[in-house]
Chain A
Amino acid sequence: MSERVIELAGITKDYGAGDARTRVLRGIDLTLDAGELAALIGPSGSGKSTLLNLVGLLDRPTEGKVCVRGRDTVALGDDDRTRLRAQTLGFVFQFHHLLPALSALENTRMPLVMSTGRVERWMDERALALLDRVGLSPRARARASTLSGGEQQRVAIARALAMRPPLVLADEPTGNLDTETSARVFALLREINRDEGTAFLIVTHDPSIAAQCERVIELVDGLVRSDTRR
């Protein structure tokens, strides 16, 4: 039986206060296991990004429980959540969000640097292996700002894997790429999922990407409308 990485129970999330209060998530129950490749789809405003932020411990729910590897995180302090996030979760964003002045290698090792508080030689070796994994080792010393969109997204994927997290959260990872590059990037995610057992929760508007995922979770008006496994 696969390890349960994430468990959400009775999650609601409100923004604003008083009359201006808006309920974005209205009672979400969801689990994610190690090794899953899941797509999170839904129309704009359905609460996908909010849900991703809650799973990624970047935000706290108004009500409900967010358990990471069986540990309830809602009551944890900021530093504990940060530590747990660094150990358990990787992030890939639509606009990659690399630090432009740093090289591909420096960007890739950044989670190791941030979580340990030190810059050490072994981190370069790990980052180089990851860049090799995403086919970018020849560009390891290039500044992030000089890389193409597809290359930057591959560096972001390598960076998300630096801490060997069991789950990577990807917010529209191909949303900013052309069709061909998009297909290559998704193929890379699938390959990592298959070869290394890393689970992915991918927020996407692209039906072709969702169609290739083994699980599709559809969110509508802050509720899970469907959760389909193939």
Chain B
Amino acid sequence: MQAEWYLALRFLREGRAQSALIIIGAATGIAVMVFITALITGLQETIIERTLGTQAHIVVRPPDEIVRELLAARSPGVVVASRIEEPAQRVQSIDQWQRVDRQLSRLPGVVAVSPMASGSAFAVRGNASRSVAVIGIDAERHDARVPIQDHLVEGRYSLAGTDVLIGTELADDLGVVLGGRVRVGTAEGRAQIFTVRGIFDLGIQDLNARWVVVSLRNAQTLLDLVGGASSIELKVTDVFEADAVADRIEERTGLDAESWMERNAELMVALRSQSASSTIIVVFVMIAVAMGIASVLIVSVVQRSRQIGILRAMGAPRGRVLRIFLIQGGVVGVAGAILGSAIGAGLAQLFTALIRDAEGEPLFPVALDAALFASTLLIATVTGLASAFLPARHASRLDPAVAIRHE
């Protein structure tokens, strides 16, 4: 066994009550840190999950149509007065979308790519009609946005022929059941009759009332996009990298790529503020923990001055004395982290178990994962070592002759 470890552990054991108190103090701070981090992370994960439950991480579209100025001043002294109006944005296809599709599939960090043809239409059944969004997808590939089959409450996931999937609200509004027929028509006069094969509930009333999911081919026909795709949707590995991936796509393809973060800028600001406030709490808690550890070790160094002097007289180099006290700080940090993580995790579980909504689901979900415990252990150990540094340096610099005479 290393001499430093041997003496550090003996010193901690010798001052049992003192060591226990400081470990409990550190554990309390670390428990607060684990609890708050788990709660905030859990909340954010839930918010992001709900937000992304029905949104693609990145949507790639053709660039907006712009008007080219045709009348320009051709010679000096000639003034041309013109008024240029912004053009209406038509539903248009991505140029050579199949090539773009392949290109996007090969991008690092991209896990799913789905071409889509979407636009506005009306769903009519008898006297009832509703404004809807036609979502034309490739049934096999449409997992970039939301796996609709997981949200089916009735029927089956089929988009073959003239099959259609609609939301629960729209089914109620139109009074249609499985196997029923619905006419979907556009303002331009193109229309098609579909058979309802499945009814889904995405958890968002507006989507349940507006989405009409059909095959890509049917949507292309309805929206006059024969062989085209109005957008390509992507799913990425790390949702927080979506912005960076979108930038890369714009750079490489010249198309518009919009990430979920851009679409939900206000939500991102709220999430960042929440993270910042939890970081501030954690920082202050760790400062309090560090000061607790440092004060106990300073007292320990003063109490042991004579012993330190004797150890120096007996051949302990300064570095060895320094390490003896650093190890004590580190051990307190690690012990505090283990105990604190257990308490924090216990509190979080208790919180989840006790506070539930009307449906019995946890009101505040918590995120307890290995990364949280690993980072807690690292932060606590570094805090322990850092807080032990000054007392340890003081101990190592004690003049042995003076320390031995210390009363």
**Which residues from chain A sit less than 8 Å from chain B, CB to CB?**
53, 56, 58-59, 78-79, 82-83, 85-87, 91, 93, 97, 99-102, 110-111, 113-119, 159, 163
Q: Which of B3, B307, B310 contacts A113 (CB 8 A)?
A: B3
* B318 A78 Cβ-Cβ under 8 A: yes
Q: Which of B4, B6, B13, B315 contacts A85 (CB 8 A)?
A: B315
A117 to B322, CA, bound (A): 13
* A58 B400 Cβ-Cβ under 8 A: yes
A56 to B310, CA, bound (A): 12
Cβ contacts under 8 Å, B7 to chain A: 113
In the complex, 19 of the A-B residue pairs with CB atoms within 8 angstroms, ordered by the A residue number, are: A53-B401, A58-B404, A59-B399, A78-B317, A82-B316, A83-B315, A87-B315, A93-B310, A100-B14, A101-B10, A110-B311, A113-B6, A114-B3, A114-B316, A115-B315, A115-B316, A117-B4, A117-B320, A119-B6
Interface centre among A79, A85, A101, A117 (most CB of B within 10 A): A117
Cβ contacts under 8 Å, A79 to chain B: 317-319
Q: Mark B1-39, 1 if CB is under 8 A from A, else 0.
A: 111101100100110000000000000000000000000
Considering only CB atoms, which chain A residue lies closest to B7 in the complex? A113
Residues B268-315 near A (CB distance < 8 A): 306-307, 309-315
Cβ contacts under 8 Å, B4 to chain A: 117
Cβ contacts under 8 Å, A119 to chain B: 1-3, 6
Minimum CB–CB distance from B401 to chain A (whole Å) comes to 4
Cβ contacts under 8 Å, A111 to chain B: 314-315
Q: Which of B3, B313, B401 contacts A116 (CB 8 A)?
A: B3
User: How many B residues have CB within 8 A of the partner chain?
Assistant: 27
A116 to B320, CA, bound (A): 11
Cβ contacts under 8 Å, B404 to chain A: 58, 93, 97
A219 to B121, CA, bound (A): 112
Considering only CB atoms, which chain A residue lies closest to B319 in the complex? A79
A56 to B404, CA, bound (A): 13
Cβ contacts under 8 Å, B2 to chain A: 117-119
In the A-B complex, list the 9 residue pairs whose CB atoms are closest, starting with the nearest: A86-B315, A115-B315, A101-B14, A58-B401, A114-B316, A111-B314, A53-B401, A119-B1, A114-B315
Considering only CB atoms, which chain A residue lies closest to B318 in the complex? A78
Cβ contacts under 8 Å, B10 to chain A: 99, 101-102
Cβ contacts under 8 Å, B6 to chain A: 113, 119
* A91 B318 Cβ-Cβ under 8 A: no
* A91 B315 Cβ-Cβ under 8 A: no
Residues B311-337 near A (CB distance < 8 A): 311-320
* A82 B317 Cβ-Cβ under 8 A: yes
* B13 A58 Cβ-Cβ under 8 A: no
Minimum CB–CB distance from A15 to chain B (whole Å) comes to 11
A115 to B186, CA, bound (A): 90
Cβ contacts under 8 Å, B400 to chain A: 58
Cβ contacts under 8 Å, A78 to chain B: 317-318
A111 to B3, CA, bound (A): 11
Cβ contacts under 8 Å, A115 to chain B: 314-316
* B315 A163 Cβ-Cβ under 8 A: yes
Q: What 6 new A-B contacts, CB under 8 Å, besides A113-B7, A115-B316, A119-B6? A: A58-B312, A97-B404, A101-B13, A101-B14, A114-B311, A115-B315
A159 to B10, CA, bound (A): 18
A85 to B4, CA, bound (A): 19
Q: Mark B229-242, 1 if CB is under 8 A from A, else 0.
A: 00000000000000
Considering only CB atoms, which chain A residue lies closest to B14 in the complex? A101
A73 to B10, CA, bound (A): 33
Considering only CB atoms, which chain A residue lies closest to B6 in the complex? A119
Minimum CB–CB distance from B383 to chain A (whole Å) comes to 27
Residues B330-377 near A (CB distance < 8 A): none
Cβ contacts under 8 Å, A87 to chain B: 315
Minimum CB–CB distance from B16 to chain A (whole Å) comes to 10
Interface centre among B1, B3, B4 (most CB of A within 10 A): B3
Residues B47-88 near A (CB distance < 8 A): none
Q: Which of B13, B320, B399, B401 contacts A114 (CB 8 A)?
A: B320
Interface centre among B2, B6, B13, B400 (most CB of A within 10 A): B400
A91 to B309, CA, bound (A): 12
A115 to B312, CA, bound (A): 10
The answer to whether A91 and B313 touch (CB under 8 A), given A59-B401, A97-B306, A117-B3, is yes
A78 to B397, CA, bound (A): 11
Minimum CB–CB distance from A197 to chain B (whole Å) comes to 21
Cβ contacts under 8 Å, A59 to chain B: 399, 401
A113 to B316, CA, bound (A): 9
Cβ contacts under 8 Å, B313 to chain A: 56, 58, 85, 91
A13 to B257, CA, bound (A): 80
* B307 A97 Cβ-Cβ under 8 A: yes
